[in-house]
Structure 1
């Protein structure tokens, strides 16, 4: 119940108790002035706490309730601690303290009520008889019961309204989460995360940053599109995009867009581990995609797709403009710049299964990845020829200690990455290889 209404109800009950006490000659006649005081005090408190400088005071309702406790205690002491009216006033005050401020407010309320009662008793003494007349006891009980019941009813209604509001908030929250997850499908996870955590504002804004840019497309896709039905082709393309997206996200790449059978990914925004680490992650992703493509080719071949699909990739590192481009009502988070054009050009020049990188990228990753010099090319926007390199493999995977092996022939395909094989799987793989070797030997005999 709002403080004003609750205080009016309590003090009206107190005025009724005083009036009855005067009529039964239980209270001293001079206490009659407390009746208008009790009826006016709630309105005085309302004006003080809402229209004066007190309204800026912290926890003003708690402080005013303690003042009520002191006033109530003084009244109890003044009437000489007569049992029923004293208990009535104390119960209303203690109930209010517990409802408004919990145990802490209740303890402070008892303290101020005790202080007020002590002052009242010191000034007027204890009544000769602590027993109240029947009419006074009845009015005291009715006043207390009415106050507690009405206050409890309001608290119950407030609790129900709060539960309803909580349910609505929870429903809206679940709806917002569901909607945000649906919208996240149209954005790169890094971009979606930065927007919904408040790290990035949705406005037309760009900045210059050093990024690593990746382009890829499928060699032979045009021929395949002429051989397959549109529904089957769509399923194959979606499977390819899904697999490559998982690889990109594993290395922390920001997926910019899918165009036809092409993928554009960049590293370095919205999160970056530094130009060197971003470039290494980008090239590592490309190597992993090339290996992963071999697995998918085997699966597609088992599904009757005979066209040998391979991807070609181009990577460039350098400063680009990244951010939100477009209009206020339709934006696209992407990158522009000559390094983007260079990466696209490298992808178009690459042979099937080849990864071509720019000199800037090569200089950042050459200590961990073996590359082969491919000469120079002329690219629009660059004043001089651009040196390019072909990615061979990780240096750790070259030589006799390499973890990756592959071999393909008509009727045979093998892909082995020993670093990813768990110990309990090795015996099954060895048995399968031995059975395959025995079968080949029998065919030779």
Structure 2
């Protein structure tokens, strides 16, 4: 003889514990009927059935002692589950229900299996078992109840008549109906509260996702993902890792900033950063920061494909950025920007300190170390359109990328001169089999990357080139005439 279903807090899933707990603890969520109230209702109804049954002669006189037990037990059970070691039991409700089944079975055996009162008590117990513990608890409860009924029935013996007086039967039926209706009402209220809580959880989940995506704009996607998946804690900590570090800036940007209005300059710079960021993310780079017209990217953290692959991805990104810059430069020229903007880049590979730097309430995920300084120095020494790499980077990529020896430089923090190399292109793209071609004159620009062209685009490009060639031949014929 137990209460309605378990508290909604125990039904929250592990995937949304904190969010569900916050919602379910709000005033909107309606709690289920407490165990104490449910047990008190059931045992009070049973006590009333005993009193009426004794007065009508259906039960033996000594059964009145059971009334005292029925009225006292709910309070004892409440104290046991709240003030003793039993409160720490994760399945205390099922255990207490099993005890109720034993008590109920004893009562049914003591009254000699009189039909309607016995069925009334059994129904209340089975209903509670299904609601609280499902089929498993129902089967366990029925088994304990049946065993207790048989034990007490063997001791007390059968009643003189298995039929009870009308008033006793009516009271038993009414008590059972009242208990089931009250319990069902609380269960219905719980279901409504659960649906409302589910809606709130979904709404807050969507808001959290939207907010996390907004916040992700301020972090590199790899860092953001490692934080939101729980792989990385947001705390001040660093580690030593071998990374490939990339720096770039725009040659001629200072002169351009003096010629353009701030709004137009901002639009141009954002267009440049957006294009370069897409290239960096395509190769798996972690974008560290944008400073003025400079970009800092590193490879090897938070995820790494190995030193050789990280260095190759970094240099491949730089080559792709150089190609992409030519395409953007042509677009800017069509918009009236005639200043020739060129990108220059520097790459270094070595051990750096990477992690969260700053204060507990404001930190920055970045890298420090002499390799960072070397990459920055290489970038400042590079000519427009040039990619300079350190010797260690060269040693990791030389089998797949053609480089040219540029001599040695002296860098603060390094005891010996540093050999540097200029990146020419992928070895696979060298010679007649190269996939990228460029040709640029005043009034004409062509940038061809055959690896990225589909069959349909190829036909369209061939048609455009043929039209352009016919136009040039006609103008040449007219010039001769």
* TM-score in same-fold range (> 0.5): yes
Counterpart position of 2:431: 399
Counterpart position of 1:37: 69
Counterpart position of 1:316: 348
Matched, 1:62 2:76: no
More deviation in 183-192 or 299-308?
A: 299-308
More deviation in 276-285 or 99-108?
A: 99-108
Query: After the TM superposition, which residues 175-186 of structure 1 pair with which residues of structure 2 at under 5 Å, given as runs?
Result: 175-186=207-218
When the two structures are aligned, how many residues end up with a matched partner?
445
More deviation in 271-280 or 241-250?
A: 271-280
Question: d(CA) in 1 for partners of 2:168 and 2:252?
Answer: 101
Counterpart position of 1:174: 206
Residue by residue, what CA displacement relative to the aligned partner does 1:268-303 show, whole Å, maximum 9, x if unpaired?
112222221111111000000011111112222222
5+ residue gaps, structure 1: none
Matched, 1:339 2:368: no
Counterpart position of 2:286: 254
Matched, 1:74 2:115: no
Q: Which runs of 4+ in 1 moved over 4 A?
A: none
CA RMSD in angstroms, aligned pairs only? 1.8
Cα distance, 1:70 vs structure 2: 2.6
Counterpart position of 2:444: 412
Cα distance, 1:56 vs structure 2: 4.1
5+ residue gaps, structure 2: 1-32
What's the TM-score, normalizing by structure 2? 0.88
More deviation in 411-420 or 199-208?
A: 199-208
- SS for the counterpart of 2:432 is coil
Q: Measured at CA, do residues 74 and 247 of structure 1 come closer, stay the same or move farther in structure 2, by a change above 3 Å?
A: same
Residue by residue, what CA displacement relative to the aligned partner does 1:156-203 show, whole Å, maximum 9, x if unpaired?
333334344444433333333222222211111111122222222222
More deviation in 131-140 or 385-394?
A: 131-140
Cα distance, 1:58 vs structure 2: 4.5
- SS for the counterpart of 1:400 is helix
Counterpart position of 1:285: 317
Matched, 1:149 2:181: yes
Cα distance, 1:57 vs structure 2: 4.0
Cα distance, 1:366 vs structure 2: 0.6
Question: d(CA) in 2 for partners of 1:302 and 1:55?
Answer: 77
Counterpart position of 1:50: 82
Matched, 1:139 2:174: no
Cα distance, 1:85 vs structure 2: 1.0
Counterpart position of 2:128: 96
Matched, 1:430 2:462: yes
- SS for the counterpart of 2:188 is helix
Counterpart position of 2:49: 17
Question: d(CA) in 1 for partners of 2:365 and 2:349?
Answer: 19
Counterpart position of 1:232: 264
